Chain A
Amino acid sequence: MSKQFQFKLVLLGESAVGKSSLVLRFVKDQFDDYRESTIGAAFLTQTVTLDDQTIVKFEIWDTAGQERYKAPMYYRNANCAVVVYDITQASSLDKARTWIRELQRQADPSIVIALCGNKTDLTARRQITQEEAKKYADEEGLMWFETSAKTGEGVSEVFTAIAKKLPLSAPSSRTNAARGTAAARQGVDLNRQTTTQGSNEACNC
């Protein structure tokens, strides 16, 4: 029988860089040209099956990017974070850097962080070069990707790559499961977990 693991993933980044669109593409393989901006946080799940038949289930928290919401710590206990910027907005990389600094300071030290430049379909309006972002990611030891939620280019690769990088061995010995929710645990083995909280598979936004 194939192994199953469950991880908490949080999406962060400036407003309007395409966080919700990225999730919608990943979870439902859809794209919506006129999405309302997220005012809050939505919870979704999606699974990724790796080559060795290991199944990784992501519990995804899509959060609001607007500055005026003093964003609460949705990255608390997250196993991985996708920090998104818009390749056509120079300022969005600055905001991404701010988020990454905060994650490095406040989040779980073992967190896997992926930096993701979205909107490659608008390459004509590109303001952030691949070299610049890649260099920054290398310096900080982050994974780096470019995607287009609109065309779907590179989207599933981000999540698959994260799934591969996550520690799929024995669950961590750290006892951050005090709250008892599956989300709070590191790499929960679903085969051993008969009931899991929040089994909604579909988008609820």
Chain B
Amino acid sequence: MRGNVGKNVSITPRGQIEQLQIFGDLTCTDLTGMSHRQVDLVKSFLRPSENTTVTLNVEVEPGNVESYGGGQADTNTEALQCGRRLLSIVTHDDGVFEEARWVLAPLRKPGTLDESNNQLQIKTTSPITGDVSLTVAQAKQQSLENLPSPASPTIPGVSVFTLTINSNSEDVSSQTFITSDIQKLRKFSAEYRRLKAIAAKVVDLRTKIIPLHERLSKATAGLPGNDLRDISTVRDEWIRKASIAKATVGTKSLRLRLGSFNVNGKIPSQDLSPWLRGVAAKKSTGQPWISPLEPLSPLGPLCDLLPEEKDEDDLLTKSSANATPEMKGVDPDIFVLGFQELDMSTEALLYATSPIKEEMWTTAIFAGLGEKGILYEKLVSTQLVGMLLIVIVKKALRSCFNDVRFCYAGAGIMGFMGNKGATAVRLEFTPTSSGVSELASTQPIALTFVNAHLAAFDEMVERRNYDFHDLSARLTFPSAGGTGYDDTLNLYQSDVLFWMGDLNYRINLSDSDIRAILTSYPDGDSGVQHIVAYDQLRNAIRSNEAFSHFVEHPITHFPTYRYGAGLSRDLLGYDTKRKPAWTDRIMYMPSPDIDLKQLGYGSHPEITLSDHQPISADFHIPVAIINKGTYEEHTCGLHRELSEYDQSKKPRIKVQTANLDFGPIFYRRPTKKALVLLNDGDIPCVFRFLSAAPDTPVAPSWLHIEPMVGLLRPKETVAVTTVAYVDDAAASKLNLRPPKLECTLILHTALGKDHFISVSGYYQYTCFVNTLERLARLPGPIRNLKTPEDLMPSTQALNAPREIMRLINWMMTNSLSETDTFFGRPARRKLCTVIRECLDTGEEFPTVTAESDRSDLCAAVASTLVAFLDSLVVPVIPPSLHARCLQVRDRETAFELLDEFPRESINVWISLTAFLHYVGQQGSASGKAGSRSISSKALHLAMLFAPILLRDDPSGEFPRVSLIGKRDFLLYFIA
């Protein structure tokens, strides 16, 4: 039998009870030695999911009776009767997280425990947080004297100990108890310390990044999961966020500059100021010559989408994170510099390293900082053989950095030698706010930096991936000491984890391809962009083989390895014996709570002393200044408000919008609808969306819901955002289906009803994401199709899809004299959407008169052509033919191969290459007239179109072929 908690618990005045969740894996300690009646008694006050781990019989220290809220003690007798207490540690185990607190219950009538269950009341509950401390001491003589020892059965008068519970929080005053049950007391304090240690630890980043709805129990319609556990998970997260919002009193901008440099055993013979203070090099000069394809990540989180809707007319360029004004003219607060191959001598491997090299480089760093050098000081450094990590901070902020820890691990010869491996530093930054002096304390953020040197050579990818996982597990920061319990921290127990160094990842392209691409396009970033797609590290992240969830800023700089001094060099200065690669990298993994921004990422070619170029990255972290006192106050208040558990009341959510009709749904145009939910019950309510059947998604691929999970207090409403958005993957399916879209969303109320929300819309067919074969069989504009089967028989198919011919014809007739405007300017997104819509509906393209509008239109038409070709389900030249294309050695055979193409592809190919040939000619006419060499314009066009027209087969059925080979095949037609 379980007691009805709602009735019996006496809730002490506001501020007296607080709770805080504690994370960790707790096991329930046994209750041996405890009277089963008492255990049952305590248990009767608890929720089914709660457990008492230790219960202790105590007496209140005399003179302390009133201070802890034990009620009015008028007479001695009452004070005595109030003096006996049960002190319990209660954990709330929901399988993933545990919540722990201690509960204090007075026993009003000594000796009549059995008959007077209802006399037991919970007086105080308090969370076991890092802020609460417990001290145990031998009782003072005077305390004992004041005790009515003979009258009290719990104190036989042998050894008596006092137990004091202190709290830094103003709301909970310290309380002192007396007990003689030493064994139990020991257990109690051990359990207390263990829980406290868990509370103090930072949650692992790998846990934090899991979205809330994925942390809930598995459930589908009609098969509810563990609703009780889910409620506590959602509630705790909600309280944490709400408390942070309430307790945040300001923000401190923290600016970081990270640098990594493999110095190849050299001494600092050059000025390092370009690396430390300079703007990182970007190879792109001004505008990209070719407007990039869709810069948006296909969908990503919904927030990516919404700006597009707000400002549809932004330029189709990459969001430039570089050169944000915030960073200009502001010195970093902290430099974190990682070196590799500082010392390449054999002795360095075998014996402890001498600090000479470190001193040398530290001196060089401060020299490089120039007149700013006096503002900084070294905070910490850690070295393992050639790997050195130095942290330099602004002197003025020195006191904000604390709990600085470091560690290292070897991963080289025999798996542990220090020729490869990593060094790491973890530090906490506590923001101070000069304006808010009354702040008792603020919460720090933890930053972890890893400087690694991983296994070398092209083919050692798997070894590098292994090294990453191995080092991730082995790099742990030992206990700072003095806490009395083990608080070793791993790399991920941090708010941001930075990982940099010579990671040695190479490029999966042939040596000649890499050099050819880099030398052909020295002025734009198109070459770099093409190669980055083949970077081993990026592939490892994408395939989750290593560095999962790490973020790296887009690379725009040239490969940093390997530059030769005196060795045989190519035109760009790269060693001809080693494939150029981005071996040197800086990445990060932030907590979802941290709004980190990267302001720059690049190499520093001015520094030539090593065979690597140094790289740097600038970051900006807005650190919330959180008033700890306010935070805990809100946490406890909200816990009290939301945790009341009354079985007689039912959660009730009212869906204000039972139907979501999106109307027409267009390809790549988000449509947003709000789904309003109201809690019209009397208790807080947790809701989540469920899938209809196991292993199926909650919503179809074209529908997105945010948030998927939520908590509503009574009378609160929330507008859940639902967005219909058709990306390429969804369009490839929807283009082949009847246009009517329908589905039912299931909204589950934890411990309550399921609601159905019917969703409908009408998909608008698009010519994008189709096959050439299907487009050629369309009887008219694709939007006129009533059903996806309304096609002409293949015998009556057109020579080429009319959409592509329209684009080419328009460009040929509209801009003979100004071909530069086609691929030389960024396009306006809104205009591109208009052109695409015209292709789908068959309407005329817009006409413009003003010259600037005209250039915009040209750029938009050209950009639409590129995007259209890139969206084709099967590329113009199917992957099965790629290998044969690359065998072609002359123009004649290239044209002969055309006969092998699919019928629709031949005409597309001929028209397109004729057009590109024409555009290429226009460019070179003014320049090297009469020259037989291929114009740079033609080269650029070929590089832009080759990977699209000969797109690789993602399934891997047909092996990838050389990018330069593809380009050269196209050049036979357009040069």
Contact = CB atoms under 8 A, between A and B. Distances in A.
Contact of B758 (A41, A69, A76): A69
Interface string A67-86: 01111111111100000000
B245 to A, nearest CB: 32
Contacts of B225: 179, 181
Given A72-B746, A73-B222, A76-B693, A41 B48 contact: no
Interface stretch (B351-359, B730-738, B747-755): B747-755
Contacts of A2: none
Given A40-B754, A43-B753, A179 B650 contact: no
A135 B672 CA distance: 52
A205 interface: yes
A197 B49 CA distance: 11
Contact of B222 (A61, A68, A70): A61
Nearest to A70: B744
Contacts of B165: none
A184 B658 CA distance: 29
B223 interface: yes
A39 interface: yes
A64 B756 contact: yes
A90 interface: no
B224 A198 contact: yes
B751 A198 contact: yes
A42 B652 CA distance: 11
Contacts of A76: 220, 222-223, 693
A123 interface: no
A69 B744 contact: yes
A70 B227 CA distance: 25
Most B CB contacts (10 A, CB to CB) among A40, A200, A205 go to: A40
B223 A42 contact: no
B566 to A, nearest CB: 67
B221 A73 contact: yes
B243 to A, nearest CB: 30
Given A39-B655, A41-B754, A73 B693 contact: yes
B684 to A, nearest CB: 15
A45 to B, nearest CB: 12
B753 A73 contact: no
A151 B550 CA distance: 66
B744 A72 contact: yes
Interface string A15-43: 00000000000000000000000011111
Contacts of A40: 746-747, 753-756
B559 to A, nearest CB: 51
A204 interface: yes
Nearest to B696: A72
A103 interface: no
Given A183-B223, A198-B227, A42 B48 contact: no
B222 A75 contact: yes
B224 A197 contact: yes
Interface string A38-60: 01111100000000000000000
Nearest to B223: A179
B595 to A, nearest CB: 38
A195 B48 CA distance: 9
Contacts of A202: 650
Given A76-B693, A184-B223, A198-B224, A179 B218 contact: yes
A74 B651 CA distance: 21
A72 B222 contact: yes
B227 to A, nearest CB: 7
A75 B222 CA distance: 7
B226 interface: yes
Contacts of B746: 40, 72
A77 B223 contact: yes
Nearest to B48: A195
Given A40-B753, A72-B693, A200 B744 contact: no
B742 interface: yes
A16 to B, nearest CB: 16
A77 to B, nearest CB: 7
A74 B221 contact: yes
Nearest to A72: B692
A68 B221 contact: no
Nearest to A77: B223
Interface string A184-205: 1000000000010110101011
Contact of A68 (B647, B751, B758): B758
Contacts of B755: 39-40
Contact of A204 (B218, B744, B753): B753
B743 interface: yes
Contacts of A181: 223-225
A204 B751 CA distance: 9
B481 to A, nearest CB: 43
A68 B759 CA distance: 10
B754 A42 contact: yes
Contact of B658 (A10, A39, A77): A39
Contacts of B751: 198, 200, 204
Contact of A41 (B693, B743, B753): B753
Nearest to A195: B48
Contacts of A72: 220-222, 692-693, 744, 746
A200 B647 contact: yes
Contacts of A77: 222-223
Contacts of B650: 200, 202, 204
Contact of B756 (A39, A179, A197): A39
Given A39-B655, A76-B223, A181-B223, A70 B753 contact: no
A27 to B, nearest CB: 13
Given A40-B747, A76-B693, A205 B221 contact: no
Interface string B194-224: 0000000000000000000000001011111
A204 B647 CA distance: 11
Most B CB contacts (10 A, CB to CB) among A10, A72, A76, A205 go to: A72
Most A CB contacts (10 A, CB to CB) among B647, B746, B754 go to: B754
Contacts of A184: 223
A204 B742 CA distance: 29
A40 B222 CA distance: 11
Nearest to A205: B753
A69 B221 contact: no
A184 B746 CA distance: 20
A73 B692 contact: yes
A75 B752 CA distance: 18
Contacts of A200: 647, 650, 751
A70 B758 CA distance: 8
A197 B750 CA distance: 12
A197 B227 CA distance: 9
A9 to B, nearest CB: 11
A41 B746 CA distance: 9
A198 B226 CA distance: 9
Contacts of B754: 40-43
B187 to A, nearest CB: 26
A10 B650 CA distance: 21
A70 B742 contact: yes
Interface string A153-174: 0000000000000000000000
Nearest to A179: B223
A197 B651 CA distance: 16
27 contacts: A40-B755, A41-B221, A41-B753, A42-B754, A64-B756, A69-B744, A69-B758, A70-B744, A72-B692, A72-B744, A73-B222, A76-B220, A77-B223, A78-B222, A181-B223, A183-B222, A183-B224, A195-B48, A197-B226, A197-B227, A198-B227, A198-B751, A200-B650, A200-B751, A202-B650, A204-B751, A204-B753
Given A64-B756, A78-B222, A200-B647, 8 more contacts: A41-B753, A42-B753, A69-B758, A72-B222, A74-B221, A77-B223, A198-B227, A202-B650
Interface of A: 10, 39-43, 61, 64, 68-78, 179, 181, 183-184, 195, 197-198, 200, 202, 204-205
Q: 9 closest A-B pairs (Cβ-Cβ)?
A: A72-B692, A74-B222, A72-B221, A40-B755, A41-B754, A69-B756, A204-B650, A40-B754, A40-B756
